[in-house]
Structure 1
Amino acid sequence: MHGTTRTVRSVRRMPVIGAVVALAAGMLVTLGAPAAHADAGATLPFTSVEAESATTTGTKIGPDYTQGSLASEASGRQAVRLTSGQRVEFTVPRAANAVNLAYNVPDGQSGTLNVYVNGTRLAKTLAVTSKYSYIDTGWIPGARTHHFFDDARLLLGQNVQPGDRIAFESTGTQVTVDVADFEQVAAAASQPAGSVSVTSKGADPSGQGDSTQAFRDAIAAAQGGVVWIPPGDYRLTSSLSGVQNVTLQGAGSWWSVVHTSRFIDQSGSSGNVHIKDFAVLGEVTERVDSNPDNFVNGSLGPNSSVSGMWIQHMKVGLWLMGNNDNLVVENNRILDTTADGLNLNGTAKGVRVRNNFLRNQGDDALAMWSLYSPDTDSSFENNTVSQPNLANGIAIYGGTDLAVRNNLISDTNALGSGIAISNQKFLDPFSPLAGTITVDGNTLVRTGAMNPNWNHPMGALRVDSYDSAINATVNITNTTITDSPYSAFEFVSGGGQGHPVRNVTVDGATVRNTGTVVVQAEAQGAATFRNVSAASVGSAGIYNCPYPANSGAFALTDGGGNSGWNSTWSDCSTWPQPGQGNPPPDPGRNLAKGRQATASGSQDVYTPGKAVDGDASSYWESTNNAFPQYFTVDLGSSQAVRRLVLKLPPLSVWQARTQTLSVLGSTDGSGYTTVLGSADYRFDPATGNTVTVTLPSGTNLRYLRLNATANTGWPAAQFSEVEAYLS
């Protein structure tokens, strides 16, 4: 979610599904998998067909979820590779006269594809290039070369009907075809009465001349009215500013095309700016966060709108700062940006972003980031997001009373979840989440990824107390999660500070084919789950292990109506791999190592975690002269512990001593029972300062407590390691 100033977050593989197709309404579904939530996603003017479901003489690649691989960034994680003379042939799903093709060519290469309709080759070809692909962002931890695919569009010059065949053939350059969008493009619109045409001010529709001044003059002349952009190609060499109280209107996004990498760049406006029905195509080939290489950078002012636009090859589609109150962004296509598709960068009020299609973003596709002051009462609704290749599909970073409703998000990659609700601030002053955050009716398909920084996964839907506790009310309702490569729901404090996640309710969710677990809980805090059903769960229902260790437990409250995910991953020292299932118990593994440890008191730097860190030279020491003292370790789940090994540092300077202690156990951390009564245990450096304690058969506990009442060598309890074993 970068724009002009921010440093990217470091955030944290996979049952495979069938080909993905788009219905006439533009909604993606998965063959052989549950359909999207009935209202999820945008209503689109095109229908998409995956190349892997077409007929081909080429080679299908994927599925693959490995960061940096070509197939991992493809829609459906599959595509078709063509070498010279090979083709892929699509059966047309709807009446169409145009096609937009998502494709890849090797780095540094360009070429063309021959196009055939029902076996007859067209005179025109489709140009393909790697110019806008292969983005490197070395300043982002965990990033690799990414952004492999691009889009190219073509008016066929004829109408085709459902069942007709359109083929694309490589003419020499290797081309990997991902997905084709078929569309019936309406005829070019006519000039509105009373509007000021940019050509009347000298704009060149051939694209040869510089039309910047003509656009400025038309805007000045049309205050309170309409600037008309007739069919043609117009080249701007610098950005527009001072745009207010005007409508910029084209003949349609396939007909009126503006070529510039910086369309509007202004810090403020009195508003009432309406931009609609043309295309803005940039020339951004790398990501430079200090450059305003955006379709809109800054502010359009209150009560403005952006609709019917085709925005491509920019750094960011809309990077919105300042007063954009009551802005409406709807019915747009934002393709192939090197960073965000749209970012409400603080102070937004009453903004509605709805019914847009976004593909191939190099950061968050849609984001709200509450820098300087909170975004409030704003929403992302009924958008379709495909293939964000570095970060999240939709991200909310702070803000008050925000909503994410009825969106369809698929195929996130590398550092992203489908939806992230987060208190990651990036910069100050930041406004954390507040009020009510509504996440309702969303469908997530193949979302979530392995975080390469930690070799640790991110869930399809993530709630993240990254820099501060989440105290807002977070309501996650009516969610469909399909084919998540790892977990469905993740609760984490990704900054490693252990901040709690509170006040979360998940009510109504269908989870199918999740790779590992349904709930990945790694933060302290709590959530209530109601009416969450799961099927084909890869490993276990719940992974409940604090990150970092010792940071506190997460409480899952069963609100009723849940099914299919009541098992718990038993080993917090390992992360489940997709489809792995719980590992068999390892009797030789120290169950206490790295687990959360607490104590009745500590002396100076000798904290409880020192006794479960695997280092016998560091130790816990209780408050001095204050017996009794206790030490407790949470093993993560109930275990049949049979043996304890208690250690002090194995150094001769540690004189022999006897500690008097009892062993207690608990399954819930509240009520403890005595496992072994009080006894004396001798620690002697001559024998390694180690004591072995055998527990009675039938001992099952999650919380192990040692209650010390005396120590002959020091007026405090002391342990350098507390180890627990199954045998």
Structure 2
Amino acid sequence: MHSTMLGTVRHMPSIGAAVALAAGMLVALTPAAAHAASGASLPFTSVEAESATTTGTRIGPDYTQGTLASEASGRQAVRLTSGQRVEFTVPRAANAVNVSYNVPDGQSGSLDVYVNGTKIAKTLAVTSKYSYVDTGWIAGAKTHHFFDNSRLLLGQNVQQGDKVAFVATGTQVTVDVADFEQVAAAAAQPAGSVSVVSKGADPSGAGDSTQAFRDAISAAQGGVVWIPPGDYRLASSLSGVQNVTLQGAGQWYSVVHTSRFIDQSGSSGGVHIKDFAVVGEVTERVDSNPDNFVNGTLGPGSSVSGMWIQHLKCGFWLTGNNDNLVVENNRILDTTADGLNLNGTAHGVIVRNNFLRNQGDDSLAMWSLNSPDTNSSFENNTISQPNLANGIAIYGGTDITVRNNLISDTNALGSGIAISNQKFLDPFHPLAGTITVDGNTLVRTGAINPNWGHPMGALRVDSYDSAVNATVDITNTTITNSPYSAFEFVSGGGHGYSTGNVTVSGATVQNTGTVVVQAEAQGAAKFSNVQATGVGAAGVYNCPYPSGSGAFTLTDGGGNSGWNSTWSDCSTWPQPGQGSPPPDQNTNLAKGRPATATGSQDVYTPGKAVDGDANTYWESANNAFPGTWTVDLGSAQAVRRLVLKLPPASAWSARTQTVTVLGSTDGATYSTVVGATGYRFDPATGNTVTVALPSSTSLRYLRLDVSANSGWPAAQFSEVEAYQTS
């Protein structure tokens, strides 16, 4: 559940609840340079599509919820129409690739694959089956979960510097990032193990292997169940799993297809699961369904390692006794809810060195329901693109550690890290003891809560349902390119509870969009050696809510620099880039801004012309010239140039639109900036035209009046871009 100080956002109990540190750069998903120990040590290296060579169209960057680019790694990706390609320079020796991608809703297809210019026999399957998730019961949620992952063994070795290209065939594909990996040969069967095939399992995937798995588990008590290379289908879940090891030949070779792998409320423990894949068929989020890799408990002293977990509701929804569980070296991809949620009652749990991408709720969460999680930790994990909640969330618990994690690109209702007393249900156990948050790197984390335009910080301490009385130590943090604030202190339920006993020391904050400290609750925090550069609006926003609920005290412990100013007006939120440094004059001032029109046709609404996607468009009501479209830039701007676009596809034949450009500073009185002019849009030149504006132009509201279109009986724009440069 997630909220702001202005009210409650229904989210259900977080249930089944950087990569590119700089956009366009090649990414090695190994410990980040910003903090030597941040993130997981991973067997693959990722390359962002926007840094590759392409004949397609780069989209983004964008932070607007509900847009494709906003959910992409680095907030950018490359869109391919049929016949277009994106070509990656291979960063390391590899024989396999995993690609994060999107296709339009309802479509499926494949990408042709070329190695050094030669097409290989295999293709990479793409589908929208697991995307476009709707969670209408969550306030503020829009259709989300746009991306999916598809993997391929290339059948050959490629070397660093080789070229691997993907070509769209028949359907539009947006490519986000490619992970290149050298996959070892399949492992051999351990001596003395019980093979599921010997008990009747079908490695072709045609038959139901559930009973064979159950029989092998019964036969191998105290030993190893062996899952040979193959595809195995389980029609129902496993239970009564204890005192056994389930082992595969490797996560690229042994694949179990089921949406419910283990579902049990109790176990004596000693369960060890490793080295295979569990791939489900979950296409929507139903919180009452146990559509999880592990639902319930594995019992004390258990472990999960080397797993590929994909297309489930949750990777782990853990209840009961999971004392001293170790979850490490796994990949958890494309879940419609949490990657892992530790639901109270567990002690000494370690979750480390895992990679999580594209969760539909918190990627990693501890929720102290029924009894507190204690002495447990999330360490050295790499988390990318949770699209509806936090990267890491700690909801209550005693003596919890969040250390050396790398988290990037949160979206919609989440921070990179949330330390919270939001209870969801009772009996809840609030934060207690010492909460250690150390050595974490947060890149492009934090978001706007869409319910009321409330900004959420990269790292949030939240006294949602009760005061934060635990000692919260936040040390050695790196926060880069947060779209809003770096550190937020809030009482998200609107009760004004205190967030005290907080220390922040040894932080580096670079290019935060609004403020370094966003204080919205009574309480206190001591800051030492917090150094900031590129602060967007001011150093501190200190406006506790509700008004008069008490003050928030910031104590200067010394060594702080770059954030000594305070936002002076508590009646307004600071906007990104409002202060120093000034906004980039090459920034599109119109993107993501509120847009209206005198009319629109079907789904072709005014906002499609400012969503950062040249393939979506606004179209006015047919046969109703003039069609008028208006965007509010937020404040008066010295606009010198407009770029008007139609979709860059050959299906859009050349046409001329007659456009008058008008401007206003108050939204009531408009004056003509450029008189009626015919502008030719031609797909041969990208369906783009540029309109120069007079040097004296200053406007907040930009209006385009279209009186004619030679190609269609309506006004049409896929993008309207406004710039301060000529």
AA at the equivalent of 2:422: Q
Q: Does residue 307 of structure 1 match 2:305?
A: yes
Corresponding residue number in structure 2 for 1:660: none
- 3-state SS of paired residue (1:215): helix
How far apart in 1 are the matches of 2:230 and 2:11?
36
Return the offset for 1:97: 0.1
2:23 maps to which of 18, 24, 28: 18
Corresponding residue number in structure 2 for 1:506: 504
- 3-state SS of paired residue (1:463): strand
Corresponding residue number in structure 2 for 1:284: 282
After superposition, give the CA deviation of every residue in 1:27-78 in whole Å (9 maximum; x if it has no partner): 46xxxxxx43110000000000000000000000000000000000000000
Corresponding residue number in structure 1 for 2:489: 491
Return the offset for 1:275: 0.1
After superposition, give the CA deviation of every residue in 1:445-494 in whole Å (9 maximum; x if it has no partner): 00000001121100000000000000000000000000000000000000
AA at the equivalent of 1:68: G
Instruction: Give the direction of change, closer, same or farther, for the CA distance of 1:349–1:6 in structure 2 (3 Å limit).
Output: farther
2:251 maps to which of 250, 253, 262: 253
AA at the equivalent of 1:401: D
After superposition, give the CA deviation of every residue in 1:362-415 in whole Å (9 maximum; x if it has no partner): 000000000000000000000000000000000000000000000000000000
How far apart in 1 are the matches of 2:337 and 2:87?
32
Asked if the contact 2:14–2:362 (Cα under 8 Å) also holds between the matched residues in 1, the reply is no
1:85-484 alignment runs, 5 A limit: 85-484=83-482
Return the offset for 1:19: 1.8
- 3-state SS of paired residue (1:495): coil
AA at the equivalent of 2:54: T
After superposition, give the CA deviation of every residue in 1:84-135 in whole Å (9 maximum; x if it has no partner): 0000000000000000000000000001100000000011111100000000
- 3-state SS of paired residue (2:95): strand
Return the offset for 1:172: 1.2
How far apart in 2 are the matches of 1:136 and 1:18?
28
Corresponding residue number in structure 2 for 1:576: 574
Corresponding residue number in structure 1 for 2:694: none
Q: Identity rate of aligned residues, in percent? A: 85
AA at the equivalent of 1:19: G
Corresponding residue number in structure 2 for 1:694: none
How far apart in 1 are the matches of 2:568 and 2:65?
28
Instruction: Give the direction of change, closer, same or farther, for the CA distance of 1:488–1:310 in structure 2 (3 Å limit).
Output: same
- 3-state SS of paired residue (2:145): coil
- 3-state SS of paired residue (2:213): helix
- 3-state SS of paired residue (2:476): strand
Asked if the contact 2:516–2:532 (Cα under 8 Å) also holds between the matched residues in 1, the reply is yes
How far apart in 1 are the matches of 2:168 and 2:451?
38
1:590-605 alignment runs, 5 A limit: none
Return the offset for 1:189: 0.1
Return the offset for 1:21: 2.9
How far apart in 1 are the matches of 2:87 and 2:40?
27
1:64-83 alignment runs, 5 A limit: 64-83=62-81
Return the offset for 1:550: 2.0
Asked if the contact 1:230–1:256 (Cα under 8 Å) also holds between the matched residues in 2, the reply is yes
Q: Does residue 534 of structure 1 match 2:538?
A: no
- 3-state SS of paired residue (2:231): strand
Asked if the contact 2:31–2:37 (Cα under 8 Å) also holds between the matched residues in 1, the reply is no
AA at the equivalent of 1:516: T
How far apart in 2 are the matches of 1:231 and 1:186?
13
TM (norm. structure 2) is 0.77
1:555-634 alignment runs, 5 A limit: 555-581=553-579
After superposition, give the CA deviation of every residue in 1:557-594 in whole Å (9 maximum; x if it has no partner): 000010000000011100011011299xxxxxxxxxxx
Corresponding residue number in structure 1 for 2:545: 547
1:7-86 alignment runs, 5 A limit: 7-8=12-13, 18-23=23-28, 26-27=30-31, 35-86=33-84
Corresponding residue number in structure 2 for 1:642: none
- 3-state SS of paired residue (2:477): strand
How far apart in 2 are the matches of 1:224 and 1:367?
31
Aligned length: 569
After superposition, give the CA deviation of every residue in 1:702-727 in whole Å (9 maximum; x if it has no partner): xxxxxxxxxxxxxxxxxxxxxxxxxx
Asked if the contact 1:570–1:582 (Cα under 8 Å) also holds between the matched residues in 2, the reply is no
Return the offset for 1:22: 2.0
Instruction: Give the direction of change, closer, same or farther, for the CA distance of 1:493–1:9 in structure 2 (3 Å limit).
Output: farther
- 3-state SS of paired residue (1:206): coil
Could you tell me which runs of 5 or more consecutive residues in structure 1 were left unpaired when the two chains were aligned. 11-15, 29-34, 584-727
Asked if the contact 2:439–2:476 (Cα under 8 Å) also holds between the matched residues in 1, the reply is yes
Corresponding residue number in structure 2 for 1:690: none
Asked if the contact 1:9–1:140 (Cα under 8 Å) also holds between the matched residues in 2, the reply is no
Larger radius of gyration: 1
How far apart in 2 are the matches of 1:7 and 1:66?
23
How far apart in 1 are the matches of 2:256 and 2:549?
53
How far apart in 2 are the matches of 1:21 and 1:297?
37
How far apart in 1 are the matches of 2:11 and 2:192?
43
- 3-state SS of paired residue (1:207): coil
Return the offset for 1:548: 2.1
How far apart in 1 are the matches of 2:562 and 2:338?
36
How far apart in 2 are the matches of 1:123 and 1:166?
14
How far apart in 1 are the matches of 2:239 and 2:555?
53
How far apart in 1 are the matches of 2:23 and 2:280?
34
How far apart in 2 are the matches of 1:271 and 1:231?
26
How far apart in 2 are the matches of 1:409 and 1:440?
13
Return the offset for 1:17: 5.0
AA at the equivalent of 2:499: V
After superposition, give the CA deviation of every residue in 1:122-150 in whole Å (9 maximum; x if it has no partner): 11111100000000000001100000000
- 3-state SS of paired residue (2:217): helix
Return the offset for 1:280: 0.1
- 3-state SS of paired residue (1:368): strand
- 3-state SS of paired residue (1:358): strand
Moved more, 546-555 or 262-271: 546-555
Asked if the contact 2:107–2:127 (Cα under 8 Å) also holds between the matched residues in 1, the reply is yes
Instruction: Give the direction of change, closer, same or farther, for the CA distance of 1:375–1:66 in structure 2 (3 Å limit).
Output: same
AA at the equivalent of 1:431: H
Return the offset for 1:20: 4.2
How far apart in 2 are the matches of 1:21 and 1:399?
38
1:636-675 alignment runs, 5 A limit: none
After superposition, the CA RMSD in angstroms is 1.5
Return the offset for 1:8: 4.8
After superposition, give the CA deviation of every residue in 1:599-634 in whole Å (9 maximum; x if it has no partner): xxxxxxxxxxxxxxxxxxxxxxxxxxxxxxxxxxxx
Asked if the contact 2:536–2:580 (Cα under 8 Å) also holds between the matched residues in 1, the reply is no
Return the offset for 1:549: 1.9
Asked if the contact 1:395–1:421 (Cα under 8 Å) also holds between the matched residues in 2, the reply is yes
Instruction: Give the direction of change, closer, same or farther, for the CA distance of 1:110–1:311 in structure 2 (3 Å limit).
Output: same
- 3-state SS of paired residue (1:219): helix
- 3-state SS of paired residue (2:237): coil
AA at the equivalent of 2:50: E
Asked if the contact 1:569–1:582 (Cα under 8 Å) also holds between the matched residues in 2, the reply is no
Could you tell me which runs of 5 or more consecutive residues in structure 2 were left unpaired when the two chains were aligned. 3-9, 16-20, 582-726
